[in-house]
Amino acid sequence: MNPNNSNILCRESSLLEFNRRVLAQALDESTPLLERLKFLSIVSSNLDEFFEVRIAALKRLDKLNPDSPLINGETPREILKNVRQKARILIDEQYKLLNDNIIPALRKEKIIFLKREEWTKEQSKWIEEYFNQQIKPIITPIGLDPAHPFPKLLNKSLNFIIELEGSDAFGRPTNLAVVQAPRILPRVVKLPEHLSNGADVFVFLSSIIHDRIQDVFLGMNVKGCYQFRLTRDSELIVDDDDLKDLLLAVQGELHERQYGKAVRLEVATNCPERLVKYLTKLFKLEDDEVYRVNGPVNLIRLIAVPDMINRPDLKFPPKIPSIPEIFKNEGSVFEIFREQDVLLHHPYQSFQPVVDFIQAASKDPKVVAIKMTIYRTGSNSDIIKALIAAALSGKEVTVVVELMARFDEEANVYWANKLEDAGAHVVYGVVGYKVHAKMILVVRKENNELRRYGHLGTGNYHQGTSKLYTDFGLLTADPDITADMNEIFIQITGLGHAGQLKKMYQSPFTLHQMLLDSIQREIENAQQGKPAKIMAKMNSLVEPQLIEALYEASQAGVEVDLIVRGICILKPQVPNLSENIRVRSIIGRLLEHSRVFYFYNNGVENTYISSADWMSRNMFGRVETCVPILNQEIKRRVINESFTIALKDNQRAWEMFGDGSYKRVPFDEKNDKTVNLHDELFSLLGSN
C-alpha cells in the first residue's frame, strides 16, 4: 500500500508548522513572560536541528538524485526552495516578536537587555574590566592573509568578521580578521546589583565584543565588526560496511560532526553586502541559504535567562509530581510488583520510583542480573550510578547503549566507558538498527527460582526530561511480558532468529503488521455495521502504509482521533478521503512525548503503550517495543489520561486541516468549561 502523492504532505513543511505552534506560545500573552522567552528560544533550538538534520539531508539527496521525487511528489530541490522560504518567514517573525514585544515587556518588569548606547560610565567601566579579565585572554583574533587562511569554524559557534585599516605589528597590511567566541563564554552576562538600580540587567556577549574589539587590534582601525553563525550538516555517518569497533567509530565521527558541510549562514542585518557575499562564497552556500537576523545570531542562549532571575510571578506556577500511595507503604518494590502492575504517568507522577527500582535492584542480594537499554540518560544519572554499583558488587549487569542517539552520542560514549570499567557487559545495539526501546529487566532469585521484574516506558531514562516530557512507564512482574523482554534482550545482545513473543510486539519484526491488522479489523467491523474506533497518540506520523490504512478506515466509517504533537503528513478531514479522521496537536508547558495506541475491537478496547512513533525508521530501522495494557483499571487510566481529557482540551490544543495548516481549538467563554490537559492531569495525579 502506497498512498497517492497528492494525499501526502511535505514532512519538512509539517515540522515548520510545529515550530510555528511553539512560537505561538511565545506570542500568547496568557503565557508567563519568562516562559514566553523560553518558548522563543526553543524555536531556535528546534530550527538549528531542522537545518542540521532535515535541510542537510535534503541537500545530500539533491546532490545524489536531484530529479527523483520524494514521498509527497516533490523533488528535494523543490522542497528546499519552499521550506527555506517558510523558515525565513518564521525566523523573521521570531526576531520581530523578540524586539517589538518580549524585550519591551521584560523592560517594564525591570528585566533589561542593555544596548551599548545605554551603558552608563560605571557600567562601561565594569564591562571593560570584564572583557579584559574574562574574554580577551581566551579569544584568538585571526587576521586573514596568505599565511592565515580562514579558520575552521565550529558548528553553530558565535563568530565576528572584522574590517580593518592599517598595518599590523609586522608591517603586514590586512583588511579582514575573524574572532570566534569560545563556547565556554556565556552569551548573556548579568551585571552586578550595584550597577543595576534594582533591576535585572543583562548585556549580550556580542555587544561586549563589539564594544571592546578595538582593544584586540592595537594600532589598527576597526572599521566594522559583524556577528555571524554557521550551521553545519550534523548527521553522524558511520559506515556499516567497514565497521570493526562502533565505539571508536562514533568517537571519531563526533569530532568531524562539528565541521560538516555548511547548510545555513546567519548574519547580522548591519553586515555589509560585500562581506555577506564573501562568507557565502567561502562556505559554498547559495544566496537563499543566508539569513539576516535583527539581533543575536544565537537566540537559543536566551533560554538560560529565566533561571538567572528570581521572578516566580513571571514563570509557570510550580507543579509537584506525586509519589503513588503504593510506594509509600513499607515493603520492597519487588513485593509491590508481584501483587500488581503499576502505571506511572510522568511528570504528573514522579520518576523517582523508577530510580528506586534500579537502586533497590543494585543493592538487593537476591538480585542476580540487571538488563537495561539506554537511549538518552543525561550527564548525572542516578540510574547509571546504580548500574555501576551493581556491576562492582558482582551482579550480572548488561546495558544496551545506543551510541547513535542523535546529539546524545557524547554522553552515551562517556557512560559506556564507565560501565565497562565497572565490569558491566556493554552492548552497542545492533548495527544498522538503533535501539530505541525503553526497558529495564531485573532477575531475582526467590525460593530457589528465578523471577523477573520489568519496566517498559514510552520515554527515556533521563531524570531531567522526566520533569518536562509526558511519558508512561509500566512496572510489571507479568511472567509473559518479562519473558518477552528477556527474549528481546537476547536478540539484541546475541545472534540468531527472532523468537516468538507471547504478549509484546516489537520493531522491526511484528509491530508494524500488528498495527495494520488492528486497523483492518476496525475497517471490517465498520463494514459490518459495528462500532469502530481508532485513537493514537504519538510525536510524529509519517509512515505511508499506516497513513493509507487510516485513509481506508476513514472511508469505511471508522472514527479516527489522532493526537500528534509534531510532524503529521496525513491529510485529515478531506472529503472522500479522510473526513472521519481528526488530528490535533497539544503544545503547552510540557512536551507531549508518550506513544499510545487504541483500537475499539468490538468492545475489547485493545490499548498499548510504546516507544515507537508511526515513522518508517521506527517501524523498520529501530528496535522498538509495544506492550498491551491488560489490567482493566490501568487501561481505563491510559485511555482517560491519553485521549478523553486531551480531546476536550480547549486551551492548548490545535486542530489540523487537510492543507497542513493548524488552528487553535476554539473556546467559547460563555458556554465552554476551561480544559487544559496539563493542568487537568496535574490536578488528577500531581501533589497539588
Neighbours of 273 (CB within 10 A): 7
Residue 310 near residue 34, CB atoms below 8 Å: no
Predicted pLDDT of residue 441? 98
CATH code of domain 5-314: 3.30.1840.10
Cell numbers found for residue 552: 481506508
Domain ranges, ordered by start, for the chain? 5-314, 325-503, 507-685
Q: Which residue has the cell 509519589?
A: 323
pLDDT higher than 70, residue 253: no
- 371 pairs with which residues across the strands? 398, 441
Extract the C-alpha cell encoding 302: 536566551
Q: Please state, in angstroms and as integers, the Cα–Cα distance from residue 367 to each residue in 7, 43, 286, 356, following that order.
A: 53, 45, 60, 14
- pLDDT tens, position by position, 593-624: 999 999 999 999 999 999 999 999 999 999 99
For the residues 644-650, what does the mean pLDDT come to?
A: 97
Q: Name the 3-class secondary structure at 224.
A: strand
Helix (H, G, I), strand (E, B) or coil at 222: strand
Q: What is the dihedral of CA 647, 650, 652, 658, to 10 degrees?
A: 70
Is there a contact between 551 and 609 (Cβ–Cβ < 8 Å)?
Answer: no
51-95 residue pLDDT tens:
998 999 999 999 888 888 888 999 999 999 999 999 999 999 999
Average pLDDT over the chain, rounded to an integer: 91
Tracing cell 528560544 back to the chain, one arrives at 41
Does residue 259 surpass a pLDDT of 50?
Answer: yes
The tens digit of pLDDT for each residue in 390-443 reads 999 999 999 998 765 455 566 677 778 889 899 898 887 777 788 999 999 999
Would you state the pLDDT for residue 4? 64
Residue 167: the pLDDT is 67
Q: Which of 229, 74, 102 is nearest to 155 (CA)?
A: 229
- Torsion of Cα atoms, 326 then 331 then 334 then 337, to 10°: -30
Local structure of residue 269 (DSSP, 8 states) = T
- Burial annotation 45-60 (CB, 10 A radius, 16+ → b, else e): ebbbebbbbbbbebbe
For the chain, how far is it from start to end, CA to CA, in angstroms? 48
Flag whether pLDDT at 34 surpasses 50: yes
| Dist. CA 362–CA 383, nearest whole Å | 10
| Cα–Cα distance, 617 to 496 (Å, whole number) | 22
> pLDDT value at position 688?
61
The strand pairing partners of 159, in sequence order, are 180, 228
The pLDDT of residue 247: 45
Domain 325-503, classified CATH 3.30.870.10, yes or no: yes
Contact between 209 and 181 (Cβ < 8 Å): yes
Q: How many helices (H) and strands (E) does the chain have?
A: 19, 27
Give the least confident one: 114-118, 135-139, 237-241: 237-241
Residue 137 pLDDT > 60, yes or no?
yes
Q: Of 16-25, 146-155, 352-361, 371-380, which range is least confident?
A: 146-155
User: Whose grid coordinates read 556491576?
Assistant: 391
pLDDT at residue 242 in the model: 42
Please choose, from the candidates 158, 35, 46, the residue with its C-alpha nearest in 3D space to the C-alpha of residue 91: 46
Q: SS3 sequence, 38-53?
A: HHHHHHHHHHHHHHHH
Residue 241: which pLDDT band, with cuts at 50, 70 and 90?
Answer: very low
Contact 158, 187 (CB under 8 A): yes
Give the mean pLDDT of 239-264: 55
Residue linked to cell 487544559: 676
Q: Could you read off the pLDDT of 623-641 as tens digits, one per residue? A: 999 999 999 999 999 999 9
Mean pLDDT value of segment 268-293: 95
**Segment holding 481, helix H or strand E:** helix 479-493
Q: How many CB atoms lie within 10 A of CB 380?
A: 10
> What's the half-sphere exposure (Cβ side, CA atoms, 13 Å) at 602?
10
Q: Distance (Å, rounded) from C-alpha 552 to C-alpha 546?
A: 10
Catalytic (active site) residue 497: no
Element spanning 664, H or E: strand 662-664
Phi, psi angles (nearest 5°) of residue 225: -140, 120
pLDDT, residue 356, reads: 95
Say how far apart CA 288 and CA 55 lie, in whole Å.
12
- The CA distance from 129 to 585, in Å, is 49
Cell 491488560, residue?
630
User: Is the pLDDT higher at 433 or at 11?
Assistant: 11
Q: To which H or E segment does residue 491 belong?
A: helix 479-493
Instruction: Report residue 84 as a C-alpha cell.
Output: 527555506
Rounded to 10 deg, the angle between the 544-556 and 511-527 helix axes is 10
Domain boundaries 507-685, CATH class: alpha beta
d(CA 31, CA 136): 39
Element (H, E) at 81: helix 76-97
Q: Angle 343-346-350 (CA atoms, 0-180°, nearest 5)?
A: 85
- Contact predicate 475/353, CB 8 Å: yes
Catalytic residue chosen out of the listed positions 210, 345, 346, 436: 436
Domains 325-503 and 507-685 share a fold: yes
Element (H, E) at 161: strand 158-165
Q: Which helix (H) or strand (E) holds 682?
A: helix 677-685
pLDDT for the residue 406: 54
Closest to 623 in 3D by CA, of 635, 634, 610: 610
Confidence (pLDDT) at 203: 97
Q: Which residues pair with 450 in a beta bridge?
A: 445
Residue 571 has pLDDT above 50, yes or no: yes
Residue type, 23: L
Q: What is the mean pLDDT of residues 310-327?
A: 95
pLDDT tens by residue, 344-379 = 999 999 999 999 999 999 999 999 999 999 887 777
